[in-house]
Each structure stands twice: as structure tokens, then as C-alpha cells.
Amino acid sequence: MTPGRARLVLLLFGVLACAAYTAAELRALGEGPGFPLDDGWIHLQFARNLAAGRGLAYTPGGEPVAGSTAPLWSALLALAFLLPGNPVGWVKVLGAVAYLGGGLAASALAAELGAGRGLARLAGWLTLATGWLVWGALSGLEIPLFVLLTLVGMRLHARERRRPGRAPLALPVLALATLARPEGALLLALAVADRVLRFERHPAGGLALRLRADRALAAGLLGAAVVLLPVALFHLAVSGSVLPTTFAAKASGVHRWLPEGRYLYAVLGILFRPQPVALLLAGAGALTLVERLGGRRDAGLLPALWLAALPLAYGLINPPGGALLAGNFGRYFFPLLPVVAVLGVLGTGRAVESVGPWLRLGRRRLAWRPAAAVLVQLPTIVHLAQGSGRYVQNVANVRDSDVAMARWLAPRLAPEAVLAVNDIGALQYLLPNRLLDLAGIVDPQVPRYIRAARAAGAPWQDGVRRFLEERRPDYLVIFPEWFPELTGPGTGFRPIYGLRIPRNVTMGADELVLFATPWTRHPLARVEAEAGPGAGPAADPEAGMGAGPEADPEAAPGSDGGSTAGAGGPGGEVPRPPLPR
């Protein structure tokens, strides 16, 4: 098969994978496309304000905030509002295009590192067959863009390291990756170190370490600074820190000097389940890069450094207690999966060359490589097939909670009413009201109140209560399980409407509740039931707590279980349910 046809077949496979997940969603849920996490709606809200000329703002009022961890992704998504049709559909198209580019980039990186043509193709296949990356392509999140930019940046780095005379593009591309995910700053630093610390073969044997800086490196650093400086200055002006406010909400600093073993074990599980064979071989790929140091095929160590350093870095800031700072379902580590694929195929290179293309059985010759490639990919393909059910269940959980609450509130809630909420995504995108962010994602105030309460020896919920008393919202939309001391009897918060989330594996708790506050200024309007077959009685917002409609639990195929993982509660202070099995 020619290289062009091989790439075409690879892309067709990726398109079919995205189409299969989308078809499963539309068939099971019977409505327009949605997102498997509320975070997708957050990015869409930032993009809508950008498209409207309000800059990096989140609220309808257009106040600038430093809450976007992916300003480059938000800027790309703004294009969706300039195109006809539903922006959600265009967001999924943009994600799918970046995902397909990531598959090609993984193949190109493997080839640049010295993998043969067949093994390089296998790296691309493993990348596009990874179910979590298909999930990411359709999630509205920045995952596919970050994957694409990191892979392209690592390929350029390997090429420039071998041939220093080339245009210094690697560091600016990795700076762009930092604008897609802040973890890109770590990869950028590793690339600089891998460029400066060079190994040479010593005449007496062994390797000699040399420090080497040249004009190309200086030009690359200048290009990276040009990319990063405007956003860093914006964050500094808005929040007083060059980091997005999300960092303070999800990580409260370095907690230890060495990561906990159970944390690293959990990260290994995140990487092993979709790519078990490649992960087992990735160590051999890293050793292959070490073996080539100082020689003609020296391509540096950047992919191996990235694979090792990201879990270690997150392990240092992982909060104590039961929380697991890995993102929902481990999504902070999904960008490492293509690197696992690349290093995995690279680790088999010497064995493949040694055995050759044929195995002899008596007088017969057997072409063993296609069968071996199938065996390597088989667990990943199985995980991909199972992933469509997980994806559909995630979309259903978001639809049955945040989206359903926003739709229920839309005809009842006065536009002037202020909501304090756990999840700011769908509620802000679908409602015109001003929101108070209790998770501290776009507003750093709540984590500060929580830290002040804990410093005074008080429960962290006292900090939230003080914040609410000062801001005086009309209503709360929260998971009561997160705030038992805040929403119990005698607190002044009265439950009005609740939504049970069937078969919840996505949201922070199984029930989302609307509470009236002691400061409610805008009562909910009464909405008469729509006429027509099956119309039930109108909901009376003053009648007290009522259970919201439950979705048919059979409408969404099964999941592999578990709940939201990541920073616990507001400010990462409260343990959250563990990562799903």
C-alpha cells in the first residue's frame, strides 16, 4: 500500500470511529448532540463571548476572567458561531479534525524517531483506535488540539535537535500547546532541557554530557515568549497570577516532594486499559532513545521525558485525602496515550528487524507481522467498542442534570436573578443570568474564602457560607452531597426542585437540587403544562421540593462505572468519588 493510500485508510478509520460514537449518542438519546462533560459547555461559553467581541469573558456582562485553561481552543471554537447551524455540531467537527490530525502526527513522530514505515503506521492506528481520544474528539474539550500540537512539537524538536540549522519552530509550537493546556509549559521546559543537555560519544567509551546553546535555541525561546507573553500578561492583569484561576481551584500548591505510589498506580491504570500492549512495550521504546544518544540516530529523549514527567508533576500537587487529581476519568493523562503508542512501536523495532518479515514453518513462509499488529491493536479496539457506551452515558448524565436544570429554569427564572452553582457550563450557556461560581473555575474568590475558613480552624463550608452571605444570590443550583452543613434543616436554604441523575457515572453526585436562599428577590414564575397527549400537571415552584424527570435508564448503554475524578469540591478541598474502574 502506498503511503498516501495508507494515510487515507487511517483517516477513514478515524472518521468511522467518530461517526459510530455520534450515531450511538443520537440513537440512544433521541435529541441533538451534547457533551460528555459540563466543561465542554464552559469552552463554548468562552467561545461565544469571543465571537461576540467581548474577549476572554465568561458572564453575559463581558467581564474579563482568567478562567480559561485553553484560550487557543476557545479562539478556535469561536469560529463555530460564525458558521450556519448548531455551534455544538461544529465544535464536534473541529474536535474530530484535530483528532484525525493527531493520528497522522503520531505516525509522523514515530517515523522521525526511527520507527520503520509499518511501525509508524501502527502508531497512528493505535492513536486513532484509542476510545478515550474519540471521546475527547467529541467532548468539546481541548484534548485533541493539545494532542496534535504536542505531537507536532515533539516531531519538530527531534528534527531540529539532529539538524540544528533548521528553522526553530518546535518551541513556538509547544508554546501554542501551552495555550491549549497549561501542562504544555512542562513539555516546553523539557524540550529546552533536552536541547541544551546533549550527549556525545567519548573516545574512551561511554557518553559525555555537554551543555549546548545556540542561536536557533535563542530564536525558538523568543518565538515561544511571543506566543505566551500576551496571555500571561492578561492573566496577571485580571487575576494577579500568570496562571489561570482554574489552577488555584483544582490544586492548592505542592503537597509532597515525591508522588504517592497509589497515585502512580492509578495513572498506570488510566494508560494501561486502552493500550495495554503498547504500555508494556513503552519502556523498551524509551531505552531505544537512550541507546541512540550521542550517535547518528540521536533524536533526544523528549517523548520519554514527557511520559514520565507529567504523572510525577501531577503527583506532587495531588491533594491529600481521597481526591485524585487526574480529571474526569483521567482525562488529564489522555494526551499521553499517543506517546505510549509511539514509544511502544519504537520498542519493538529491533525485534522486528531481527526476525525479518517471514517466519519459516518447514518449507512454508508465514508473514507474521500483520498478525502481530492485529494482536497489538486488539485490546485497544475492544476498548474503543466499549467506549461508545461510556460516551453515551456521560452525555446522558450531563443532559439529565445541568442541561435539564437550565431548561427547567429558562421559562421560570427572571433574567435578573443570580444563581450560585457547582457547574457553570450548561447553566451559563443556556441561561442569561449571572452566575456565582462555587467551584472557583472562573472566579478565584470562593477558594480564598475556603482557605481563610480553614486557616481559622472552621469547616470549609463556613467559607462558602460567608461568600454567599456577601454576594446574596437568589438561588443555589448545587449537589447537596457536597454541602451537607450548608443545605441542611435550619440553614435558610429551601429546596425547590431536584433532579435525580439516572445511572450517574459523570456528575459529582447523583442529585442536583435548586435551593431558594434567604435573599431570594425574584420568585420563580409558574409555568402552565403544555397541552397535548401525556402532558402532566404544571410544576409549582412555590410548592417545595419535587423530583425532576428521570431518563429511561435503558436509553444509554452501559459504562464501566465510577464517578467524576479530579479536584474535590470547591478549591480541591473536599474528597470526591474515586476514578472509575
Local structure of 550: helix, strand or coil: coil
Secondary structure (H, E, C), 328-370 = HHHHHHHHHHHHHHHHHHHHCHHHHHHHCCEEEECCEEEEHHH
Amino acid in the structure at residue 506: T
Of residues 289, 285, 514, the one with CA closest to residue 407: 514
User: Residue 35 and residue 92: Cα distance in Å, rounded?
Assistant: 9
Distance between CA atoms of 244 and 42, rounded to whole angstroms? 14
C-alpha cell at 228: 505566551
Per residue of the chain (581 residues), give pLDDT as tens.
788 888 999 999 999 999 999 999 999 998 889 999 999 999 999 999 999 999 999 988 888 888 888 999 999 999 999 999 999 999 999 999 999 999 999 999 999 999 999 999 999 999 999 999 999 999 999 999 999 999 999 999 999 988 877 789 999 999 999 999 999 999 999 999 999 998 888 777 778 888 887 888 999 999 999 999 999 999 888 888 888 877 766 666 677 788 888 899 999 999 999 999 999 999 999 999 999 998 888 999 999 999 999 999 998 887 765 567 888 999 999 999 999 999 999 999 877 777 777 677 777 777 777 888 888 899 999 999 999 999 999 999 999 999 999 999 999 999 999 999 999 999 999 999 999 999 888 887 888 898 898 889 988 889 999 999 999 999 999 999 988 888 878 888 999 999 999 999 999 999 999 999 999 999 999 987 643 333 333 445 555 554 443 333 333 333 333 333 333 333 333 333 332 32
Find, among 204, 270, 21, the residue nearest to 129 by Cα: 21
Strand, helix or coil for residue 512: strand
Cβ neighbourhood burial of 537 (10 Å; 0-12, 13-18, 19+): exposed
Q: Which residues pair with 514 in a beta bridge?
A: 477, 497
**Residues contacting residue 379 through CB under 8 Å, at least 6 positions apart:** 274, 275, 276, 277
Strand 418-421 and strand 475-478: the pairing is parallel
d(CA 277, CA 274) in angstroms, rounded, equals 9
Residue at 61: amino acid letter: G
CB distance 114 to 298 below 8 Å: no
Cell numbers for 256: 509532597
* CA-wise closest residue to 169 among 210, 127, 217: 217
Element (H, E) at 201: strand 197-201
Residue 35 and residue 474: Cα distance in Å, rounded? 28
Burial of 494 (0-12, 13-18, 19+ CB in 10 A): middle
**Beta strand extents in 401-473 (DSSP E only):** 418-421, 434-437
